[in-house]
Amino acid sequence: MDKFIQVCNVYFQYDSDEDASTDSFALKGVDMEINKGEFVAIVGHNGSGKSTLAKHFNSLYLPVTGDVYVNGINTKDDDRLFEIRKSVGLVLQNPDNQIVAGVVEEDVAFGCENLGVPTEEIRRRVDNALKTVGMYEYRTHSPDKLSGGQKQRVAIAGIIAMEPECIVLDEPTAMLDPQGRYEVISTISRLNKEMGITIILITHYMEEAVLADRVIVMDSGKVLTDGTPREVFSKVEMLKKHRLDVPQATELVYKLKGCGYELPVCVLNEEECVEALASLLQENKAGRNINVSDKG
């Protein structure tokens, strides 16, 4: 697979006046590669540097030492800044603060207008983007009247209209209710599956991270572990040690295993959990030795 984003030994500190003791750095030597078409989730608790890292992907922040390459372009290359921002779009946490215009379709058009896309082409892209996120019928509405999930989808449409190869979402669901969260996450996975857009989802909801192809766990400015959701969430001990959650289903199975039940190493969602428990019950019925409810 093609390497799309390469992060090489990046250090970053917010206040450059501070002395260079390692504590003042938000990122302390991050290395990672993100391939074209991947759906990557980056998780970590508050202050782990995940949002700081997100802003490095489209050169909003520049590394103090180290380099970030997008499609082979160094993000420090000022002349190709718009090329980078055009190919990597960033969606922020608060949906209210990233909508510029007072009408949905005007806001979606904002990025295209800045890029100097011809008028008819903007119209086509805006309509497509709004249809993709399922907000087409709201195109003439004012953003204030929309729910949080709808606003966030409008913000995503604004990025899609610029036709990026990659979308970085910095905790897009943190301020939404469960319904809004579902709307946003299903939109994101559809973009990845149907349009082949590379997705980097920064989140602290482990249930969302499970949907990704790959999970990267960050802790105090470093990459802690990197792998498929199954690989990462099987390391329950290690995640707990770094104050991170695992999906509820995973935790349940993990705890039951601790009690001595024969269960798979790692389940990721409710269905797998139910399946595992059902097969366990089946076996027990056949063996007639343990009553599960006694130990539960």
The residue ranges that bind another protein (CB under 8 A) are 55, 58, 60, 82, 85-86, 89-90, 92, 94, 96-103, 105-106, 109-119, 122-123, 126, 140, 142-144, 155, 158-159, 162
**CB under 8 Å to 156, separation ≥6 — which residues?**
91, 133, 167, 169, 172, 184, 187, 188, 191
DSSP secondary structure code for residue 234 in this structure:
T
Nearer to another protein by Cβ, of 60 and 290: the residue is: 60
Asked if 269 and 287 touch (Cβ cutoff 8 Å), the reply is no
Nearer to another protein by Cβ, of 143 and 221: the residue is: 143
Q: Strand pairing partners for 30?
A: 10
Nearer to another protein by Cβ, of 107 and 272: the residue is: 107
Angle at which helices 178-195 and 119-132 pack, to 10 degrees? Answer: 120
Nearer to another protein by Cβ, of 165 and 231: the residue is: 165
What type of residue sits at position 222?
K
Nearer to another protein by Cβ, of 153 and 214: the residue is: 153
Asked if 82 and 157 touch (Cβ cutoff 8 Å), the reply is no
Question: From the CB of 162, what's the least distance to another protein, in Å?
Answer: 7
Report helix, strand and coil shares of the chain as percent, to nearest 5.
45, 20, 35
Q: Can you tell me which residue has the tokens 């913000």?
A: 155
Nearer to another protein by Cβ, of 64 and 115: the residue is: 115
User: Closest Cα to residue 203, out of 152, 163, 159?
Assistant: 152
Nearer to another protein by Cβ, of 67 and 113: the residue is: 113
Asked if 39 and 192 touch (Cβ cutoff 8 Å), the reply is yes
Question: From the CB of 85, what's the least distance to another protein, in Å?
Answer: 5
Asked if 216 and 32 touch (Cβ cutoff 8 Å), the reply is yes
Question: From the CB of 110, what's the least distance to another protein, in Å?
Answer: 6
Question: From the CB of 122, what's the least distance to another protein, in Å?
Answer: 4
Question: From the CB of 60, what's the least distance to another protein, in Å?
Answer: 6
For residue 37, how many other CB atoms are within 10 A of its CB?
A: 18
Asked if 26 and 219 touch (Cβ cutoff 8 Å), the reply is no
Question: From the CB of 236, what's the least distance to another protein, in Å?
Answer: 35
DSSP H or E stretch at residue 70: strand 65-70
Question: From the CB of 161, what's the least distance to another protein, in Å?
Answer: 9
